Amino acid sequence: MSRQHYAISRKLAAEVEGRAGWDEPPALYRLHVHHGRPSLVPVAVPLSLWELDRPPAVLELLAGLMEGKRFRFDIEHEGELYGMAFRHEGWMVEGPWDNSAQARATQVMAGDHKLYLHPARVEIRMMYAVDREQITYSATMRRTSPPTPAERLIAYPDGRGEGWGPMVEEALGGTGGNVRPAGAVVEALDRMVEHLLDVPALKRPSSVVADPSWS
């Protein structure tokens, strides 16, 4: 395997770290590689479309349009299409994620999309990507002052994972070496890559990195 995946991971981190402000709408990107250099090209999704529903549902709609060949890209000057990526803002709670009553209450709030009400909530900016090799990427940045670097995860289709940053490294330490991100966002990106690049969608039987509660 080439080291292309490391360059892609760093590119995602640079994108979330380089945003000028917060409280932005979600954004979909094409992931390209040109002469070994990855680039992220925004897809022109109307703001009115993001306002129709929660971001995962809108991604499902967009994936369906790509399947029907009703969503086309002019990629002549961008280099090779290599995958798809998605950026959003949301909320997370930094543990505990054990079987305690506190953890179960937090999980219920997450399932109800109410983490924004949790007293220990942390606002985050996150970016996911899936490439043609079925590798899944994430870059997560907390809203802090001063800003802190984005934490990164690379999850390979065979279940191996690599991570950078204390939160991701702790999560990897508890997985027993089996890392399989799941959820509506990465599954929608899987389908986009499948439709655009004829790559079979990755089977995702369990979740290590769960969808956050959306802002």
How high is the pLDDT of residue 34?
87
Residue 204 pLDDT more than 60? yes
Does any domain span residue 180?
Answer: yes
Q: Which amino acid is at 215?
A: S
Which of the 8 DSSP states describes residue 57?
A: H
pTM of the model: 0.85
Percent of the chain with pLDDT over 70: 77
Does any domain span residue 195?
Answer: yes
> Please, what is the end-to-end C-alpha distance for the chain in angstroms?
37
Domain that holds residue 207: 4-88+128-214
How high is the pLDDT of residue 98?
59
Does any domain span residue 170?
Answer: yes
Lowest mean pLDDT among 13-17, 57-61, 174-178, 181-185: 174-178
Lowest mean pLDDT among 9-23, 26-40, 65-79, 139-153: 65-79
Q: Which two tokens stand for residue 1?
A: 């395997």
Q: Which is higher by pLDDT, 213 or 134? A: 134
How high is the pLDDT of residue 207?
43
How high is the pLDDT of residue 132?
95
Does any domain span residue 93?
Answer: no
- Positive or negative, the Cα torsion across 61, 62, 65, 66? negative
64: three-class secondary structure by DSSP: helix
Does any domain span residue 102?
Answer: no
CA distance 23 to 90: 9
Does any domain span residue 141?
Answer: yes
Residue 74 pLDDT more than 70? no
Does any domain span residue 24?
Answer: yes
Beta-bridged to residue 151, according to DSSP, are: 140
Q: Is 133 exposed, middle or buried (0-12, 13-18, 19+ CB in 10 A)?
A: middle
Q: What is the pLDDT of residues 83-136, one digit of tens each?
A: 999 999 987 777 655 567 766 766 665 665 655 556 567 889 999 999 999 999
Q: What is the pLDDT of residues 144-187, one digit of tens each?
A: 889 999 999 999 999 999 999 988 887 787 777 678 888 889 99
Does any domain span residue 109?
Answer: no
CA distance 191 to 48: 23
Rounded (5°) CA angle 206-210-214: 145
CA distance 158 to 124: 28
Confidence category of residue 208, pLDDT binned at 50, 70, 90: very low
Number of domains in the chain: 1
The answer to whether 202 and 133 are in contact (CB under 8 A) is: no
